[in-house]
Amino acid sequence: MRLFRPAAPRLAPGDLIEVEGRPVRLRVHGRARRVSLRLDVASREVIATAPNARRLSEAAAFAKSRAGWIAARLDSLPSGAGFAPGVVIQVNGAPLRLERAAMRVAPRVIPARDGEPARLVAYGEGATYARAVERALKAEALRVLTERTAVHVAALRAPMPKVAVMDARARWGSCKPPSSIRYVWRLIAAPPFVLDYVVAHEVAHLRECNHSSRFWAEVDGLYGDPSEARAWLRRHGPTLHALGRS
């Protein structure tokens, strides 16, 4: 006969638990006033947030009580579009077919011709092939994003910042005035007018590190009305984040 019940395992920030087979990540946020749940589209997890570490068990219990909500949100996400030979993706607003090279070569994009779509040729199998495709797409994204940044920076009459690509989960870009701007590389698969809006948005932050009316006036001067691009990102952002994730 057991006299004592085994202690429940101590939970820590960052722990991943399962709620009816779905992933839930535990977080602590000092400014939170209560336990809450939110969907993280990019990581394809639900985040259970507690005001402090002592209340993580409460956050975990709350997540389990909302199992139906969690299942509905996660199951509604678009399936990942993994990189494999034969897959056709959109890049720079045009179709791009992924192909496997017969020998070890650096991944490269071959322009469209004779009615055939552009091709991205890479070497390898499985995960090795997917990583090669991702490297090529990151390089293409950096090229295009740098070009568009230069255009908007010139219009703003500001010094050209360093441009880099990243794989952020909560934003499409970030700006650290006056020296650097980073963009999510998967924007290369968005329509050009959407990519250009994100670039104009981040370049505007070189002048205004906020989202005040003055900031939006800068965006309007660089890009025009951003409502269509913002609506596209809200509607198709989950699919864009799923690109390359099998």
Q: What CATH number is given to the structural domain containing 144? A: 3.30.2010.10
**Residues 24, 48 share a domain:** yes
**Residues 218, 162 share a domain:** yes
Domain membership flag for residue 179: yes
Domain residue limits at 171 = 88-242
- Give the C-alpha separation, 182 to 208, whole Å: 16
Residue where a domain stops, chosen among 75, 101, 122: 75
Domain membership flag for residue 8: no
Q: What is the mean pLDDT for each group of 10 consecutive residues in the chain (246 residues)? A: 58 90 91 90 85 93 94 78 87 93 90 87 93 94 97 96 89 92 96 98 96 96 97 89 79
**Residues 120, 228 share a domain:** yes
Per-residue pLDDT at 232: 94
**Residues 123, 215 share a domain:** yes
Domain membership flag for residue 9: no
**Residues 213, 189 share a domain:** yes
Place of tokens 């864009």: 240
**pTM of the entire predicted model:** 0.74
**Residues 142, 99 share a domain:** yes
Per-residue pLDDT at 76: 80
Residue where a domain stops, chosen among 75, 108, 126: 75
**Residues 133, 63 share a domain:** no
**Residues 221, 129 share a domain:** yes
Residue where a domain stops, chosen among 8, 43, 75: 75
**Residues 158, 92 share a domain:** yes
Domain membership flag for residue 2: no
Residue 29 carries which side chain, given as an amino acid letter?
A: H
In the structure encoding, which two tokens stand for residue 153, read together? 């920076």
Per-residue pLDDT at 147: 98
SS3 of the chain: the string is CCCCCCCCCCCCCCCEEEECCEEEEEEECCCCCCCEEEEECCCCEEEEEECCHHHHHHHHHHHHHCHHHHHHHHHCCCCCECCCCCCEEEECCEEEEEEECCCCCCCEEECCECCECEEEEECCCHHHHHHHHHHHHHHHHHHHHHHHHHHHHHHHCCCCCEEEEECCCCCCEEEECCCEEEEEHHHHHCCHHHHHHHHHHHHHCCCCCCCCHHHHHHHHHHCCCCHHHHHHHHHHHHHHHHECCC
Domain count, the chain: 2
Domain membership flag for residue 225: yes
Domain membership flag for residue 47: yes
Per-residue pLDDT at 113: 87
Per-residue pLDDT at 238: 82
**Residues 155, 55 share a domain:** no
**Residues 64, 107 share a domain:** no
**Residues 128, 42 share a domain:** no
Domain membership flag for residue 107: yes
Domain membership flag for residue 111: yes
